[in-house]
Chain A
Amino acid sequence: MVTTPLLSIGVEPLRVDGLVSAVSGEGDGAVVSFLGLVRNHNAGRRVRYLEYEAYEPLALKVFERIAAEARERWPGVRFGLQHRIGRLEIGEASVAIAAASAHRADAFAACRYAIERVKQIAPIWKHEFFEGGDVWIEGATADPEDRRARAEAERVACA
C-alpha cells in the first residue's frame, strides 16, 4: 500500500482522492477538500502557464505550522496539505487541501483557514507567463508571527 504524505511539496501532479482517504477516519462525519487550479486569465492578462518555485525546507515547516494552528483552533481535525511546484498548465492543480472532522463546520473552517495561511506565509512564488510577457506574482509579506494576519485567516474561515 502506498501511503500519502499529509504534508508535501513536489513536482508530481496532485491527487486529491488520496489525500481525502489519508485524512478520513471512521469517526469523521465530514471531509472538505480544496483544489487550487491554474486559470487562464489574471488581472486582464491571458495566462499561458505558471511556474511555481518554493524554498522547500521552510515551506514544509510552514505547512507543519499551519497544521498545528488548525489543530489548535479546531481540535480533532485531521488535515493534509500538498503543494505542487515546477511548470503547471492551465487547469492543473497547484495546491490540494483536505480536512476531516466529526462535524462539517470544523472541516469547512479548517480547510479554508489552511489555504488563507498558505497564501500569507508559505515561501512559494508563482511566475506567470502570459501572452506578451511574464511577471513574478508578489502577494503577502510573509510573517508567521503577525497576529493580525492569523486573525484575519480565522475570520475568513469562520465567516
Chain B
Amino acid sequence: MRVTVRLFARLRDVAGASELTREVAPGATVGAVWAQLTREFPDFAAYERSISSAVNADYARMDREVRDGDEIAFLPPVSGG
C-alpha cells in the first residue's frame, strides 16, 4: 500500500522534498515508515528520540498502524512563537 509522507523544517532539507510517496507493507506502523526513511536518509537517525508524528493531520504515536492513502507527517522539535 502507498502512503504520503510530509516532512518539515530540517527533515525537509535533508530529504530534499516536502512530500514523498512510499510503498509500505500491510500492517506497517508509523514507526516502521520512519525506520524505512531512516535507511533512506541516514541523517534522520539523529531525530530518533525527538521526532513527533501525525497521521492525517492529527498527532499520532509511532505504534499507530497506517492505512493505504494515509498522510504521515514527521515533525522535528518545534520552535513556534
B54 within 8 A of A: yes
B57 & A139 in contact (Cβ 8 Å cutoff): no
Tell me if B77 is interfacial: C-beta within 8 Å of chain A. yes
Q: Report the minimum CB–CB distance from A93 to chain B (whole Å).
A: 11
B10 at the interface (CB under 8 A from A): yes
Give the distance in Å from the alpha carbon of A124 to the alpha carbon of B50 in the complex: 15
Give Cα A95 to B9, complex, Å.
Answer: 19
* Interface pair A123/B8, CB less than 8 Å apart: yes
Inside 8 A of A142's CB, which chain B residues have their CB?
52, 59, 75, 77-78
A141 interface residue (CB < 8 Å to B): yes
Q: Quick one: CB contact mask for A59-86 with B, threshold 8 Å, 1 for yes?
A: 1010000000000000000000001000
| Chain B interface residue bracket vs A | 20 to 34
Stretch at the interface among A24-32, A49-57, A150-158: A49-57
| Minimum C-beta distance from B12 to chain A (A) | 8
Q: Knowing A95-B80, A119-B81, A138-B10 touch, does A55 contact B75 (C-beta < 8 A)? A: yes
A105 beta carbon closer than 8 Å to chain B: no
Q: Does A91 contact B (CB under 8 A)?
A: no
> Considering only CB atoms and an 8 Å cut-off, how many residues of chain A contact the other chain?
33
Q: Which residues of A contact B59 (CB under 8 A)?
A: 58, 142-145
B40 at interface (Cβ–Cβ under 8 A)?
A: no
Contact of A53 among B8, B50, B57 (CB under 8 A): B8
User: Closest CB-CB distance, B30 to chain A, in whole Å?
Assistant: 14
Closest chain A residue, CB of each to CB of B9: A125
Residues in chain B near residue A123, CB distance under 8 A: 8, 52, 54, 73, 75, 78, 80
Question: At the interface, yes or no: A18 with Cβ under 8 Å from chain B?
Answer: no
New A-B pairs, 16, CB < 8 Å, besides A52-B80, A123-B73: A53-B8, A55-B8, A58-B59, A61-B58, A83-B80, A94-B80, A95-B81, A119-B79, A120-B78, A123-B54, A125-B79, A136-B9, A136-B10, A138-B10, A140-B78, A141-B50
Interface pairs A-B: 8 shortest CB-CB: A124-B80, A125-B9, A137-B79, A138-B77, A57-B57, A136-B10, A122-B80, A139-B79
- B residues at A contact (CB < 8 Å): 6, 8-10, 13, 50-52, 54, 57-59, 73, 75-81
